[in-house]
Structure formats: structure tokens, C-alpha cells
Structure 1
Amino acid sequence: MLITACYIVKNEEKTLPRSIESLQGNFDELIVVDTGSTDKTVEVAKKYGASVYDYVWQGDFSAARNYALANAQGDWILFFDADEYYESGGSVRAYLEYLQHSGTDIDAVIINLYNLDSPQLPAMKVIRMFRNHPSIRYAGAVHEQIVRQDGHLHTLLAEQFKFMHTGYAIEAMPIKLRRNLDLIEADIARNGERDSYYYYLAECHFGLQHYPQALEYIAKALESPVKYPYELANYYHILLESMRQCNYPAKEMEKICNIAISLFPDMPEFYGEQGMIVSSMGRLEEALKLFSKCIACYHSPQRQNNHYGYFDDKVMEIVDTRITQIHELLEGGR
């Protein structure tokens, strides 16, 4: 059985070595598609024995990734970004060999991807390994997804593997989000608006602090039959924060929080959000109970099983401050 590792890159001379070295021994072929690097990325890739293909960027991430797949010879594909690397979990090769020879119908493997800059947060669940089959390709100009063009894509979550993402510089995020928004809007201009883009449009507008537009598209995303299950909690994060920024009444936000808590009862975030909302409405004792639940969920080992999270230690300091304020108010009223 052969395994091909693939990358699409541009100016990744600093991050690519770590990623490739972390996967050494787990692939037989290395393909790097370069979309216009002006640094030493191509030289770095060739040093590791990669077959490097020059690719004229077309404003479509799926097209670039699928170009790499068209040149891959392996039975299985490892497709990572240059700023991602393997940390632990055993042999990837042995795992894929097991899937290859076990007779399973699994097409793709979901892995846990942790953000190096925010280790407290739950891992993102992403597909980074899949069979090399003509019908299994990427779709979407931005936030590209692996799909099976001739039917349902059968996936499996490999909990044992831990991969790391080195993250984006904060100052670079607006540029990245603006680029993604421009690419999505260009694709919509060519092909029309699709349900699959509503969530990503909301995400871009939210990150760019365009809160009315974020509200518009996250509402469409929630009504759409096309949803991304591992991202669903973020739908409610975007909705709640955008409502807050647009000065929606606390009562309306409370209703959304109740829905989110019912869907994600193990997440600390929505108990914390609800605590802030009801405390602003004067329901202080109720807020304390919600904050207590928030803290318990935050420190639970089970939190790493959640598909999404956005509370970190800094946010929990805000929760602690609000708890102190509430106790002072309650003591002062006695």
C-alpha cells in the first residue's frame, strides 16, 4: 500500500519543514503544489524529496488541492497545511494499512487538530486523510471540503491522533478573512449563491466585525439544510455575539442561549453567556448557578471531547470578575 502526502503552499519556507518531518515514515510519496512562492519554499520541498508542481493560482483552493490529487499515486492521501504538524498517537501508516485491508467502507479519517496558541480549547475536527479515489475530491473555492461525488462520504474519527496547528498571527486575520470573503463573493458572482456558503459568509463578516451581515448569513445558515455538524456550536457563538453587538434585547438573546445549552449541554461557553445575560436582567442568584455550571464544564476533562469552544483562561477571568461583582451586590443588599 502506498501513501501520498500532499501540500499546497505559498511562501511556507519556515513552516513546511516541521510539518513534513513530523510525518516522516508515514508516506511514500510527497507532492507539493506551489501557487507562487517568492521565498525558498520550492527549494525546501525538493530537499525533502518532493515532486513540486508549479500552479497558477485561480482564486480557488479546491482547484489547487485537486490538482495535487490528480498527480498522486498513493492508495491513501495525507493532505495537510504547511502550518500543521503531527504530534502523537501512534503510527499513521499502520492505521491506514489496517483500514486498507480490513474491508471497511471508510473513505476519510477525521483527526483532532489543536491550536498551538490556545491549547485550552477543544480540538477542531477535520479531515486530513482519505482514500485516493477519482470521486473523492475537494469542493468549494474557500473552506474547501472533501466530498464523494458519486455518493455519501463515509468518515471515521481517529481520536488517538493529535495534530497541531501553529495558528495565525492576530494582525494577519483581517487580511485572511477579507481574502476569503472576496473569493466567496467572486464564486457567488460566477455560480450563484449556495447554501453551503452561508456559514462561511457569516464567519467572514463576524471576524471582520460586520455584525449585521453576520446576523443575516448565520440566520440563513441555521435555516439551511446544509450544515457543518462540527461547527454547529460556532453558529450560536456568532449569532449571540452579533446580537450583542447589534444591541438586541436580553430576552431575545436568552432564548437563543437556551437553545444552545439544550444542544450543547457540556459546553461551558453557553452557560457563561447565559449567566452574563440573566445577570444583566437582575437575576443574580440564577446567574451564579449558571456561572458555577460554566466553571465545572470548563475544568471537566470531558471538555476535550467537545467539537468546538471559544472560552479560554482570559474569558474565565471575566466570569470570575462578574461572580465577585454579583456577590458584592448580594451582600450589599442584605
Structure 2
Amino acid sequence: MKISVCMIVRNESAQLSYALESIPEEYEKVVVDTGSTDDTVRIAESLGARVFHYAWNDDFAAARNESISHATGDYILILDADEWLAEDAGGQMEQFVREHPNEPGIVSIWNQIDGEVHRTQMVRFFPNAPQFQFHGIVHEQLYNGSEPATSLPSNIGIIHMGYQKDIYVAQKKEERYLKLYRKQLEQDPNNGYLLYQIGKLHYSLQRYAEASEYLSLCVDLREENRLYYPPMLVMYGYALKNLNRSAEAETLLTPFLTLYPSFPDLPFLLGLLAMDTMKVQDIERHFLRALEIGETSQYATVAGVGSFKAAYNVGLFYELTGQADKARTAYEIASSYDYLPAVNRLSQLTRGPFIKR
């Protein structure tokens, strides 16, 4: 089985080598350059990529389709210049093809955002067949003919660093994306996934009021079965929390606990909101529910909300309410993940009195 890794790039000399070097040597590397003025093309060629040139026309799907048109492999993996393949990605791709031949796969993309590890999910791995094409001028999505491609979960992992605020500012990605968002919204004003991505951009830049405006529109569309919807709800909840609207977030999110019973991010956030609104009776049960669910591979998530972060927060609750043994047990669970705040609290418990309100 031959795999083609397809990329579209422009002025990515600072990070392209890391992406290309993460690709196994036996894979085909297809790079479509949309007008670089730096060393991007030279770097790509020096690392064994087949480089093609394409005039940028403000349409990511068109550029993406140009890249896959040059692929000669049996399967295609989409990779961006600010991403790296996880060490076991090659083996996971082969396993996915053995178990689900001729099916597109959902790839986990791990993002480092403000010191936290977030996992998003996107359809990035699919058979090299003419019916699979991308649609959408920005945040393009894979289609099978005229319909969005159905897909199955995989264990393929990608590490992404492009959502850091300083990277957006340095590369002027904000202006570029907002221009394309406005253009696509004119064509498709009720595109929930696009509205989510706009809200996500504002949120990553800590513009919570703007983020909440777009995310509230997503909520109203009620696309509960779409892949983006559960993480969108959580992001909206955090935006409201940052705007000191925790009670509103609580009211909004609580009904979704039954709709997404395996999504630990929801009860974890509700635990934080209960701390804000002083609903003491809800704090413990929400964090314990997140721990009961555990870490999830079903949804986009933040690492730790089903394990060490939930244990640490319920430990704080126990410590504040004078439940020493329970606090120690919770901190021990969180410390087993080498979570430094829990390690510090556990050490403090052995030396001195509890935290006081």
C-alpha cells in the first residue's frame, strides 16, 4: 500500500522541515506551493517532496484539490506545514486500512493552546479516488460526490502548533482567515461548522465577546449530530465563563449532559461553573462524573478533564470543605499523572493546614 501525504504551503520555511521530516521515507510527499517568496520550495525539494506551483485564488478547497490531483498513492493523508505526524501514525494508517478498507478516517489533531493540550478531530485520511474532493473556500471539508464524506474514527495522530496566539499574530493568519470567512458566509450564512471556526479564531485570540456571538449562532442551529457540535458547546461555555456569565452557561449546558453522556468536558466545565455560581452541591458530582467517564477518544477534548484535572479540582473541593482523606486521595490520583499543581497540594497537605476560604 502506498500513501501520499499532500500539503499546501506558502512562506512556511520556518517550520516546513519539521513536518516533512515527520513523514516516513517510503511515503510520497506532495507539496503545492501557492506563491512562497522565502525558502519554502527549496526546503521541500531538498527533503524529497514533489513540488507543484498553484496560483492562490482565496480558495483552500481548490488548492487542496490541486494537491490531491498529483497524488499517486492508494491513500491520501492531508498535512499542514505547522503539523507533525505522531510517531506511530504510519502504523495506525496501515491498521485503519486493514480494518476499514476504502473508508475515510477521522484523524486526531493535538493542539498546544495556552499551555493546555486540546484534541480536535478532522477527516484527513481517505482513499485516492476521484469522488473524494474538498469543498469550502476556508476550513474545507471532504466530500464524497455531492455529500459530505462519511468517516470512521482512527488512531492516527497529528501534532499541531498553529493555534498559538503569537503564531497567528506573527503570520497575520487572523486577517487572512477573517477575509475568507466573510466571503464564505455571504454564500452560506447558516454553515454551522464555519460559524464555529470563526468563533474558535476569536476565542484563540481571547476575544470572548466576539467568539460568543458566533458560537451562539451555532447553538441555535441545533446540529447535535455533527462532529463539531459538542466541542463547540464547551468552547461557548468557556467564552461565557470568561465574560462572567457562568450562570447563563450552566443553564445552557446542563441539558446536554444526557445527550453526550460520554463527553467528560461537559461535566468538567459544569464543575467549574458550579464553583463560580457557588452551587456547592453540584461541584463534587460534576467532577466525579468527569472522572467516571474518563478520557475520551470519541470527541474533541482537552487532555486531563477525564483524569488528572478532574481529580485535582475535586481534591480542591474536598480540601476547602475539610475532607482531608478524600482530598489526599484525589490529589494522589492527579499526581500519578505528574500533574504539578496536584503534586504541590499533596505536599502541602502533609506539611500544614488546609486551604481556607
CA deviation profile, 1:151-181 (whole Å, cap 9, x unmatched): 462322222x333334544312354344322
Q: CA deviation at 1:184?
A: 0.6
Whether 1:261 and 2:261 are equivalent positions in the alignment is no
Describe the SS at the equivalent of 2:51.
Answer: strand
Q: CA deviation at 1:325?
A: 7.3
Question: Using the alignment, how far apart are the partners of 2:296 and 2:234 within structure 1?
Answer: 18
CA deviation profile, 1:195-246 (whole Å, cap 9, x unmatched): 2422223223333444444333323222326567333222212322333344
Change (3 A) 1:304 1:173: farther
Which residue identity is paired with 1:7? Answer: M
Which residue identity is paired with 1:3? Answer: I
Describe the SS at the equivalent of 2:234.
Answer: helix
Describe the SS at the equivalent of 1:12.
Answer: coil
Tell me which residue corresponds to 1:180: 177
Tell me which residue corresponds to 1:4: 4
Whether 1:170 and 2:158 are equivalent positions in the alignment is no
Tell me which residue corresponds to 1:231: 228
Question: Using the alignment, how far apart are the partners of 1:332 and 1:144 within structure 2?
Answer: 49
Higher mean Cα deviation, 121-130 or 317-326? 317-326
Q: CA deviation at 1:304?
A: 4.0
Describe the SS at the equivalent of 1:65.
Answer: helix
Tell me which residue corresponds to 1:43: 42
Question: Using the alignment, how far apart are the partners of 2:135 and 2:86 within structure 1?
Answer: 25
Which residue identity is paired with 2:23? Answer: L
Whether 1:64 and 2:54 are equivalent positions in the alignment is no
Describe the SS at the equivalent of 1:30.
Answer: strand
- TM-score, normalised to structure 2, is 0.74
Tell me which residue corresponds to 2:195: 198
- For the 8 Å contact 1:110–1:128, the answer to whether it is kept is yes
Change (3 A) 1:37 1:134: same
Tell me which residue corresponds to 1:283: 279
Question: Using the alignment, how far apart are the partners of 1:84 and 1:22 within structure 2?
Answer: 6
Change (3 A) 1:323 1:178: farther
Q: CA deviation at 1:146?
A: 0.9
Tell me which residue corresponds to 2:331: none
Which residue identity is paired with 1:219? Answer: S
Tell me the C-alpha RMSD between the 2 structures: 3.7
Change (3 A) 1:225 1:232: closer
Change (3 A) 1:167 1:209: closer
Change (3 A) 1:2 1:213: same
Question: Using the alignment, how far apart are the partners of 1:265 and 1:98 within structure 2?
Answer: 30
Question: Using the alignment, how far apart are the partners of 2:88 and 2:295 within structure 1?
Answer: 19
Change (3 A) 1:113 1:228: farther
Which residue identity is paired with 2:317? Answer: I
Which residue identity is paired with 1:265? Answer: P
Describe the SS at the equivalent of 1:229.
Answer: coil
Tell me which residue corresponds to 1:147: 143
Tell me which residue corresponds to 1:270: 266
Which residue identity is paired with 1:113? Answer: I
Q: CA deviation at 1:312?
A: 5.3
Change (3 A) 1:156 1:212: same
Change (3 A) 1:234 1:328: same
Q: CA deviation at 1:8?
A: 0.8
Describe the SS at the equivalent of 1:134.
Answer: coil
- For the 8 Å contact 2:262–2:296, the answer to whether it is kept is no
| Selected match of 1:319 from 301, 310, 313 | 313
Tell me which residue corresponds to 2:110: 114
CA deviation profile, 1:55-111 (whole Å, cap 9, x unmatched): 222222212111112233333212211222231155367447647xx8x552x1222
Describe the SS at the equivalent of 2:271.
Answer: helix
Which residue identity is paired with 2:22? Answer: S
Paired-residue identity, %: 24
Whether 1:18 and 2:18 are equivalent positions in the alignment is yes
Question: Using the alignment, how far apart are the partners of 1:162 and 1:47 within structure 2?
Answer: 25
Question: Using the alignment, how far apart are the partners of 2:251 and 2:65 within structure 1?
Answer: 43
Q: CA deviation at 1:40?
A: 1.8
Q: CA deviation at 1:254?
A: 2.4
Whether 1:157 and 2:163 are equivalent positions in the alignment is no
Which residue identity is paired with 2:227? Answer: Y
Describe the SS at the equivalent of 2:126.
Answer: strand
Question: Using the alignment, how far apart are the partners of 1:168 and 1:265 within structure 2?
Answer: 28
Describe the SS at the equivalent of 2:86.
Answer: strand
Change (3 A) 1:179 1:305: same
The unaligned stretches of length 5 or more in structure 2 are 324-353
Q: CA deviation at 1:303?
A: 0.2
- TM-score, normalised to structure 1, is 0.78
Number of residue pairs matched by the alignment: 320
Change (3 A) 1:305 1:25: same
Q: CA deviation at 1:278?
A: 3.2
